[in-house]
């Protein structure tokens, strides 16, 4: 039996959030945390959490498992369970709507701010805009982000200033377009980032790198943005 402690909060009936204990029979198998949640939902179908693809592609089931953010669907029990216990909490720092479901509004607002789409003011060619294999290689480690918010919600700078600091996820995406040879808005993008909060509130804590379920490195991307800002302004 696995002892699971899970964060519960239903704003319609609860005055405050609390931790509820569950005993889950995993039959000794090393299943994923998301499977454990399904077993718990069989016990209490009022339990709320987000999930969709259940294979680490959609980024819906980001949550805090025994203190570390990650995707429940690709995290096996053997990776997180300590002393037969598992504590599940919503992603830290975002408003809780119910149980493990958080309001991602601020996270998406910061994502929208960096204009996450290709901008090119030159006339469109008859076929697609071409890119050399070398230029395409520069996007590796950037385009794979699934916006699960595990990184930004583990970042203390994002906890303190979620309205001003873009956060690791948004900045990784920002660099994805700054590094794209087909994008011509580099200067405009950089001018939006040089204030003391948007990029520079990153203190190099690197929680983002430690938790990213896709193994990406937002801290390195932030460093590259800083290099571009410096090159542009000196």
Partner 1 sequence: MVTNITNFGRSGLSDWLIQRVSAVILALYTLFIVLYLLFNPGLDYATWSGLFAQTWMRIFSLLAFVSLSAHAWVGLWTVTTDYIKPTGIRVGAQTVIILAIFVFLVWGIQILWGA
**Contact positions vs partner 1 (CB under 8 A):** 157, 160-161, 164, 191-201, 226, 229-230, 233-234
Q: Report yes or no: 5 and 87 within 8 Å, Cβ to Cβ.
A: yes
Q: Are 40 and 4 in contact (CB under 8 A)?
A: yes
Closest to partner 1 by CB, 118 or 230: 230
Bridge partner residues of 69 (DSSP) = 64
- Of 110 and 173, the one with the shorter C-beta distance to partner 1 is 110
Tell me the closest approach of the beta carbon of residue 217 to partner 1, in angstroms: 20
| Span between the terminal Cα atoms of the chain, in Å | 62
Nearer Cβ to partner 1, position 60 or 207? 207
Q: Compute the least distance from the CB of residue 120 to partner 1, in Å.
A: 22
Comparison of 126 and 231: residue with beta carbon closer to partner 1: 231
The rounded radius of gyration (Å) of the Cα atoms in the chain is: 20
Choose among 153, 148, 146: nearest CA to 95.
153
Q: Cβ of residue 106: shortest distance to partner 1, in angstroms? A: 14
Three-state secondary structure call for residue 30 = coil
Question: Which among 139, 144, 70 is positioned nearest to 100, based on CA atoms?
Answer: 70
| φ, ψ at 104 (rounded to 5°) | -90, 10
**Shortest Cβ 165–partner 1 spacing (Å):** 9
Smallest distance, partner 1 to C-beta of residue 163, A: 9
Nearer of residues 22 and 158 to partner 1, judged by Cβ = 158
């Amino acid at each position: 039996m696995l002892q699971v402690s899970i964060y519960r909060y239903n704003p319609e009936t609860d005055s405050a959030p609390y931790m509820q204990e569950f005993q889950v029979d995993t039959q000794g198998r090393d299943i994923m945390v998301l499977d454990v949640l399904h077993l718990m939902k069989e016990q209490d179908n009022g339990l709320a959490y987000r999930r969709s693809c259940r294979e680490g592609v959609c980024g819906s089931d980001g949550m805090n498992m025994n203190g570390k953010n990650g995707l429940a669907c690709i995290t096996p029990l053997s990776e997180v369970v300590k002393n037969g216990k598992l504590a599940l909490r919503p992603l830290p720092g975002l408003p809780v709507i119910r149980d493990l479901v958080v309001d991602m509004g601020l996270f998406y607002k910061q994502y929208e701010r960096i204009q996450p789409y290709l901008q090119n003011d030159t006339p469109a060619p008859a076929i697609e805009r071409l890119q050399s294999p070398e230029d395409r290689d520069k996007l590796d480690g950037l385009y794979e982000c699934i916006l699960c918010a595990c990184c930004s919600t583990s970042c203390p700078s994002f906890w303190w200033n979620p309205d001003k600091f873009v956060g690791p996820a948004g900045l990784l995406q920002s660099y994805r377009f700054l590094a794209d040879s087909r994008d011509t808005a580099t200067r405009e993008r950089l001018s939006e980032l040089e204030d003391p909060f948007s990029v520079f509130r990153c203190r190099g804590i690197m929680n983002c790198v430690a938790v990213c379920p896709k193994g990406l490195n937002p801290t390195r991307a932030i460093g590259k943005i800083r290099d571009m800002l410096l090159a542009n302004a000196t």
